[in-house]
Homo-oligomer: A and B are copies of this chain.
Amino acid sequence: MTHAVGVGIDWGSSNVRAWAFGSDGEIITQNAISMEFADARAHGFKNCYQSLLEPLNVSNDVPRIACGQIGSRTGWFEVPYISCPGALKNWLQAPIQTPEPNLYFLSGASKSNPSPDVMRGEETQILGATSQGHKGLFCLPGTHSKWARIEKEQFLDFDTYVTGELFAVSRKHTIFGEFTVEGEPDWQAFAKGVEAAKSTPLLNLLFLPRSQVLAQKQSGQESTWYLSGCLIGSEILSANPNRLSVTLIADGMMAELYSRAMTVLGCNFAPLSADACTTTALFRAIQSKIET
């Protein structure tokens, strides 16, 4: 049995991770399972949860706090969204007790003006970043990238951009798929795509990678990275037209892509690890649970 004071869980749409925290927030043990959400549902969320936690060897009486898709309508227990705009502490201090002993879910964020929008999981990353003093504009890239605005401990607004999904759909379900090739990143082609987004509207931009291949001006591999640059460039220019400084919350290749695109566009940014932001916020939520 570890001396953990609590467990944080990030249960997203394609993988689940858990961390056992010591009293200073240090990670004592951790575990991760790659599992599509629909498979987890089929397998039984409770079974997955037990498999996830068992190796952590944590006492039954410490709180476990989870964020992400697991609290959605198709998740294990649905927990409501908290409305944005609102104080950040609304999210942090309100873990919701589930029917499972000592298991709490964090609420996602929703907004209704001018259009409805939702997030589940990214709000936790934002909480982690703000606890390190970051504020202003936040970019959280992904299949559905989120851009959020935080000022004076208030979660003011956010919007979803379907950048990653559109890249995947273009490669899988349009004629462009015939041209694309897996391979090492071509950063020159990527930067050209980002540049093209400055002067070309997106609906036209989505045609260029194919016509470049057809006109034999780019190879399939170049064009794949060019399309990635077009889409990410277009997202950044749309979400941040005045090129304000941005806190970029991402890991791995996603961090690399967005860092490079922001550099091409002359946009200042502070890169933060998404995983580190998540664990920071989950530990803070555990602390607030222990204190109450």
Give A residues with C-beta under 8 Å from B: 110, 112, 114-118, 144-145, 159-163, 165-166, 169-170, 172-174, 196, 199-204, 206-208, 211-212, 214-215, 217, 231, 234-235, 238-239
Closest B residue to A215 using CB positions: B116
Which residues in B have their C-beta under 8 angstroms from that of A204?
A: 159-162, 238-239
Report the minimal beta-carbon distance from A23 to chain B, rounded to whole angstroms: 40
Partner among B203, B208, B215 whose Cβ is within 8 Å of the Cβ of A166: B203
Report the minimal beta-carbon distance from A187 to chain B, rounded to whole angstroms: 20
Question: Closest 9 interchain pairs by CB?
Answer: A201-B238, A116-B215, A161-B203, A173-B173, A160-B207, A116-B211, A162-B206, A202-B202, A115-B208
Report the minimal beta-carbon distance from A174 to chain B, rounded to whole angstroms: 6
Report the minimal beta-carbon distance from A165 to chain B, rounded to whole angstroms: 6
Beyond A173-B172, A173-B173, whether A215 also contacts B112 by CB under 8 A is yes
A–B Cβ pairs within 8 angstroms, 28 of them: A110-B215, A112-B215, A115-B200, A115-B208, A116-B208, A116-B211, A117-B207, A118-B211, A118-B215, A145-B203, A159-B204, A160-B207, A160-B211, A161-B204, A161-B207, A165-B174, A169-B170, A169-B173, A169-B174, A173-B173, A201-B239, A202-B203, A202-B234, A202-B238, A203-B234, A203-B235, A204-B238, A204-B239
Which residues in B have their C-beta under 8 angstroms from that of A203?
A: 145, 161-163, 166, 202, 231, 234-235, 238
Which residues in B have their C-beta under 8 angstroms from that of A117?
A: 207-208, 211
Closest B residue to A110 using CB positions: B215
Report the minimal beta-carbon distance from A254 to chain B, rounded to whole angstroms: 16
Which residues in B have their C-beta under 8 angstroms from that of A112?
A: 215
**Distance, CA A199 to CA B159, complexed state (A):** 13
